[in-house]
Amino acid sequence: MSMDERLKNFLYFSPLLIFFAVVLFWPLFNVFYTSSKEFGLANALALFKPDKYAWKSLIFTIRVAFVSTLLSAFFGYSIALILVMRKSYENVIIQVLRVPLFVPYIVIGFIWRALLAPKGYVTMILNILLTKLGFEPINFMGKGISINIAHIWLYIPMIFIISYAALVKINPEIIEAARSLGASGWVIIKKIYLPLTWRALITGTSIVFLAAFVGVSIPLILGSEPTYFPVYIYYILNQEFDIAKASAMSMVFVAISMFLGYIYFTLSIRLRRGGYQ
């Protein structure tokens, strides 16, 4: 590529570069400058010692996001498999599964807060069953399980859509040939469906984990102890009014999020190129 072509390409993309510089890079630099100047890197790292609340909050957030991702991947992929193999009520199920994608996150939080509250329908019905079986009633509020449930309801459609799009691309003649040779449904899943769609499944789970990790609205409304990490930063800013400390924690949070994003994009590119066989 000649120098003139490089210059033309730079000028062509310059509005986009300026936009990112103004909207993304400058605010990030400003947060980093505030945290390093007024709070200090050493103080920021000291917040994440094992005995500190910030560390407990971060570990709790990673654990909840991981569980949400794992269960969403299992149910989302399973529904996609069943739909591809059975082909019953296909359009109805797809339309129903799309509903959570059009509901704002904050509304999802309030929906599940109402359902999982001590007098919510889900909690009341489940506790009645548990009491009859001789178990203690469960209180969902203020615990990670309530966030998991809301996350799963939200992220199953994402996994489903990505997995289903990959599954329907498989040549049906391959499936018919396997069945004609006596392969059971489980064998077909293990030998055909999973090997041909695991790349899409990994991509979907990467997206879901990143979304679950950085989400604020649902954990803010449902509450938890320890506090979800993004919500903890919000509390520091709005209740302690400590901008420097919030900026320092935000930079740590941004660094972790960017690392996860880098893994996702790198993984996606390699999978797209067939780098993992």
| Residue 276 banded pLDDT, cuts 50, 70, 90 | very low
The larger pLDDT score, comparing residue 127 to residue 68, is at 68
Q: Is the pLDDT of residue 186 over 70?
A: yes
Which is more confident, 32 or 120?
A: 120
| Structural domain harbouring 3 | 1-39
Residue type at 73 in one-letter notation: A
In a domain, 266, yes or no: yes
- Tell me whether residue 57 is exposed, middle or buried, using C-beta atoms within 10 angstroms of its C-beta: 0 to 12, 13 to 18, 19 or more: buried
Of residues 143, 141, 66, 76, the one with CA closest to residue 110: 141
In the block, residue with structure tokens 């570990």: 59
pTM: 0.80
Is 239 part of a structural domain of the chain? yes
Over residues 82-113, the pLDDT tens digits come to 998 887 777 888 888 888 888 888 899 999 99
- Rounded to 5°, angle at Cα 244 from 238 and 248: 100
Are 33 and 150 members of one domain? no
Residue 201 lies in a domain: yes
**Pair (103, 154) in one structural domain:** yes
Domain total of the chain: 2
Give me 245's structure tokens: 């400390």
The pLDDT confidence band at residue 63, using thresholds 50, 70 and 90, is very high
Confirm whether 233 is domain-assigned.
yes
Q: Residue 151 falls within a domain, yes or no?
A: yes
pLDDT in tens, 189-210: 888 888 888 888 888 888 899 8
Tell whether 144 and 249 lie within a shared domain. Answer: yes
78, part of any domain: yes
Based on the domain organization, do 156 and 228 belong to the same domain?
yes
- Does a structural domain hold residue 277? no
Does 101 share its domain with 230?
Answer: yes
